[in-house]
């Protein structure tokens, strides 16, 4: 049988790695059907080549409030060019699968607008777009499985040569496993790291983190491997009462390396430290040598002469350090890929050369474990796997301990263990008010699983455990957020319930400093929490600025309004307080005010939007539809900003 020359192109745009997971899963299923596949990130694909393609599958995630992932921004700007006519993609077939969260207002917005733009440029959809929802009980896979079934049928109808044996033919699962995507090379080096392992030389620490994370299988192309700076904690105190169900902390940090100039509204990313005992347990469970020196690189680079021509990124690192800095062994749940992982490899003896095997079951020596893992990897076992894994938030270490006969080579673990990800927080300080410092407002995450197991968030719990005397150096990265810093002359309407108040603490502090030397525009701030006496975050700060001609005082045209949802029989939220101040909001909008919203993504942003529509309609006398259009024009003008998180 001849090798099929027609290739299916899969382009993905990911921010955190989910879209890549889906793209690889689609590729695996296509290859099982003897279809040749090429996968590319949108950041490395030349968009001008699209008209020459036959069929393209797009897998795209939506970030923030309807934003494209960073890796897609250049690609998307190219597609938006006006000189691309309605026939530019004529003859090109496509399909789009999106990943989003229906808790956000602009659910799967990127997939929707990409689908429309491709159609406008003349491309033909193979099937309707698929929309994966993180809120679904089975996650995005609930939509992905049926969408893929339709995709194979649709492709076979228009391009049957993709599937020489038909879309229902599957390359048989053989008891043979292919090679993992990553090569681990072990080096004979004595104590390379020990000479500097206890030093406070931040250049070395930065280099060590950089080289470990540059070798990580979870490296996202647009991310910087080396941290921007190192911080040390100088204050750590609770903002909520000890009796309250939530533990919200105020953290203050100082720069101990170079000082990074940031602005209010910026984001701080923190690389969390894993529990050393958990790292040791993982290494022991997997029979690894923590003291060995390794380099990790994609397998296609395996002929690279590592020992003779090492680059800066090829410098060997201790295995334990690599695990500690790049592999999330005791916090993140393994993805379905961990259970169903399959590898495809080419062999001249086999025309399609794609053999598929469940990696965990392949390495399981106990028959009952092998059977259970194969069931989890099957379509019939999808829901049970979701209950066992995602719902219970089992970690990689817990899963490996549940299947003690599984002994996977380290190369497979590097590929399959979820990467240790930076955690992003809204900065809650102003550099004008706190030079050389960064403040965070953090909810220490904890929850109970359906089987009554207590779980804790990795980063927030670690930060809460730190005390200033420890002098732990925290690697951080600074990024622009979705809340641009406002000029002093711009009137503001801020809505930030719960920890959504974090960025606005920085806004208010900055305006207080600016007001000492110049006039600042009025600021209205709507805050919300459960109880006045339990979780009224930064109570004294807000009240002090709302009195004595402070920047939130009515004397300065501003105002501070707090909603306590559980202090009375009827729940009161920020949108109710906004309704009470509808005239003041309308007057400030008339003066050109910008609206900033921050907090939980679940319902709050949409409830606030509805309240604003009602306020504008009521105060202007215009129909509700006009109020909606008015708010959309405000958003397009860069005066309506939302930063929400789940």
Higher pLDDT pick, 644 / 489: 489
* pLDDT above 50 (res 465): yes
Annotated binding residues for FMN, written as ranges, equal: 14-19, 61-64, 134
Phi first, then psi, for residue 77 (nearest 5°) are: -60, -40
pTM here is 0.85
Annotated binding residues, written as ranges, equal: 14-19, 61-64, 134, 393, 423-426, 457-460, 499, 565-566, 571-575, 607, 645
Q: What is the pLDDT of residue 185?
A: 93
pLDDT digits (tens, 9 = 90+) for 550-597: 999 999 999 999 999 999 999 999 999 999 999 999 999 999 999 999
Q: What is the pLDDT of residue 289?
A: 96
Q: What is the pLDDT of residue 175?
A: 39
Q: What is the pLDDT of residue 70?
A: 85
- Tell the burial category of 643 from Cβ atoms under 10 Å away from its Cβ (0-12, 13-18, 19+): buried
Q: What is the pLDDT of residue 418?
A: 86
* pLDDT above 50 (res 5): no
3-state helix, strand, coil in the chain (%, to 5): 35, 20, 45
- Averaged pLDDT, 189-205: 59
How far is Cα 373 from Cα 288, in angstroms, rounded to an integer? 23
Contact 482, 645 (CB under 8 A): no
* pLDDT above 60 (res 194): no
* pLDDT above 80 (res 138): no
- Averaged pLDDT, 401-419: 92
Which long-range contacts (C-beta less than 8 Å, at least 24 apart) are formed by 471-474?
471/232, 472/232, 472/233, 472/273, 473/200, 473/202, 473/205, 473/230, 473/231, 473/232, 473/256, 474/230, 474/231, 474/232, 474/233, 474/253, 474/270, 474/271
* pLDDT above 50 (res 236): yes
Q: What is the pLDDT of residue 374?
A: 83
Which of 367, 358, 364 has its CA nearest to residue 340? 358
Q: What is the pLDDT of residue 91?
A: 93
Q: What is the pLDDT of residue 34?
A: 82
Q: What sign does the dihedral 121-122-125-126 (CA atoms) show?
A: negative
- Averaged pLDDT, 39-43: 92
* pLDDT bucket at 602, cuts 50 / 70 / 90: confident
* pLDDT bucket at 190, cuts 50 / 70 / 90: low
* pLDDT bucket at 378, cuts 50 / 70 / 90: confident
Residue with tokens 């060019």: 81
* pLDDT bucket at 309, cuts 50 / 70 / 90: very low
* pLDDT bucket at 178, cuts 50 / 70 / 90: low
* pLDDT above 90 (res 45): yes
Annotated binding residues for NADP(+), written as ranges, equal: 499, 565-566, 571-575, 607
Q: Which of 75-79, 311-315, 572-576 has the lowest mean pLDDT?
A: 311-315
pLDDT digits (tens, 9 = 90+) for 90-131: 999 999 999 998 877 788 999 999 999 999 999 999 999 999
Annotated binding residues for FAD, written as ranges, equal: 393, 423-426, 457-460, 645
Higher pLDDT pick, 117 / 145: 117
- Averaged pLDDT, 386-404: 90
How far is Cα 547 from Cα 533, in angstroms, rounded to an integer? 20
* pLDDT bucket at 249, cuts 50 / 70 / 90: very high
pLDDT digits (tens, 9 = 90+) for 430-460: 999 999 999 999 999 999 999 999 999 999 9
Higher pLDDT pick, 312 / 462: 462
* pLDDT above 80 (res 63): yes
Which of 585, 556, 561 has its CA nearest to residue 574? 561
Map residue 523 onto helix, strand or coil: strand
How far is Cα 291 from Cα 31, in angstroms, rounded to an integer? 39
* pLDDT above 80 (res 642): yes
Q: What is the pLDDT of residue 202?
A: 77
Phi first, then psi, for residue 233 (nearest 5°) are: -80, 135
Which of 609, 597, 606 has its CA nearest to residue 504? 597
Q: Which of 291-305, 349-363, 525-539, 618-632 has the lowest mean pLDDT?
A: 349-363
* pLDDT above 90 (res 304): no
Percent of the chain, pLDDT > 70?
89
* HSE toward the beta carbon, residue 98, CA cutoff 13 A: 25
* pLDDT bucket at 340, cuts 50 / 70 / 90: low
Q: What is the pLDDT of residue 172?
A: 56
- Mean pLDDT (the chain) is 87
Map residue 437 onto helix, strand or coil: strand
Joined tokens for residue 462: 């670690």
């Amino acid at each position: 049988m001849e090798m099929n020359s027609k290739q299916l192109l899969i382009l993905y745009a990911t921010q955190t790695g989910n879209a890549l997971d889906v793209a690889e899963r689609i590729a695996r299923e296509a290859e099982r059907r003897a279809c040749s596949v090429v996968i590319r990130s949108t950041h490395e694909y030349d968009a001008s080549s699209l008209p020459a393609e036959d069929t393209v599958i797009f897998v795209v995630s939506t970030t923030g409030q309807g934003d494209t992932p960073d890796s897609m921004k250049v690609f998307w700007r190219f597609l938006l060019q006006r000189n691309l006519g309605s026939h530019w993609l004529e003859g090109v077939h496509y399909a789009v699968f999106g990943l989003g969260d229906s808790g956000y207002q602009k659910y799967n917005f990127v997939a929707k607008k990409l689908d429309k733009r491709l159609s406008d440029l003349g491309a033909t959809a193979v099937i309707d777009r698929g929309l994966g929802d993180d809120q679904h009980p089975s996650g995005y896979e609930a939509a992905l499985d049926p969408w893929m079934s339709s995709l194979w049928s649709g492709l076979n109808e228009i391009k049957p040569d993709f599937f020489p044996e038909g879309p229902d033919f599957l390359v048989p699962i053989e008891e043979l496993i292919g090679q993992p995507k990553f090569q681990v090379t072990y080096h004979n080096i004595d104590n390379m790291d020990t000479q500097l392992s206890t030093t406070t030389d931040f250049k070395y620490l930065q280099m060590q983190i950089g080289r470990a994370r540059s070798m990580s299988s979870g490296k996202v192309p647009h991310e910087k491997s080396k941290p921007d700076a190192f911080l040390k904690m100088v204050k750590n105190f609770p903002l909520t009462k000890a009796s309250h169900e939530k533990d919200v902390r105020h953290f203050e940090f100082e720069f101990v390396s170079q000082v990074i100039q940031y602005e209010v509204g910026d984001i701080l990313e923190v690389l969390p430290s894993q529990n050393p005992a958990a790292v040791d347990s993982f290494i022991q469970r997997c029979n690894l040598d923590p003291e060995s020196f390794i380099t990790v690189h994609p397998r296609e680079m395996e002929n690279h002469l590592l020992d003779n021509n090492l680059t800066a990124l090829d410098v060997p690192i201790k295995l334990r350090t690599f695990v500690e800095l790049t592999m999330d062994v005791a916090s993140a749940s393994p993805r379905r890929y961990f259970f169903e992982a399959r590898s495809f490899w080419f062999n001249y003896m086999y025309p399609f050369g794609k053999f598929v095997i469940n990696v965990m079951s392949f390495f399981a020596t106990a028959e009952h474990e092998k059977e259970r893992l194969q069931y989890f990897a099957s379509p019939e076992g999808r829901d049970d796997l979701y209950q066992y894994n995602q719902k219970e938030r089992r970690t990689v270490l817990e899963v490996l301990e549940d299947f003690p006969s599984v002994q996977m080579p380290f190369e497979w673990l590097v590929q399959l263990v979820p990467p240790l990800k930076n955690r992003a927080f809204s900065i809650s300080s102003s550099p004008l008010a706190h030079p050389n410092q960064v403040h965070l407002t953090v909810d220490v995450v904890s929850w109970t699983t359906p089987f009554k197991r207590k779980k804790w968030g990795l980063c927030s719990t670690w930060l809460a455990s730190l005390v200033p005397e420890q002098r732990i150096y925290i690697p951080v990265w600074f990024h622009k957020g979705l809340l641009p810093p406002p000029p002093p002359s711009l009137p503001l309407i801020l809505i930030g319930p719960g920890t959504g108040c974090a960025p606005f603490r920085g806004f208010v502090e900055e305006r207080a400093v600016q007001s000492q030397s110049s006039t600042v525009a009025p600021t209205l701030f709507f805050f919300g929490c459960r109880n006045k006496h339990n979780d009224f975050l930064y109570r004294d700060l807000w009240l002090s600025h709302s009195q004595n001609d402070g920047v939130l005082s009515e004397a300065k045209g501003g105002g501070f309004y707090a909603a306590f949802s559980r202090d009375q029989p009827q729940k009161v939220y920020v949108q109710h307080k906004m309704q009470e101040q509808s005239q003041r909001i309308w007057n400030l909008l008339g003066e050109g005010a910008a609206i900033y919203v921050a907090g939980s993504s679940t319902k709050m942003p949409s409830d606030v939007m509805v309240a604003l529509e009602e306020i504008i309609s009521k105060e202007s006398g215009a129909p509700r539809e006009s109020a909606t259009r008015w708010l959309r024009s405000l958003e397009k003008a860069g005066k309506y900003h939302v930063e929400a998180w789940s």
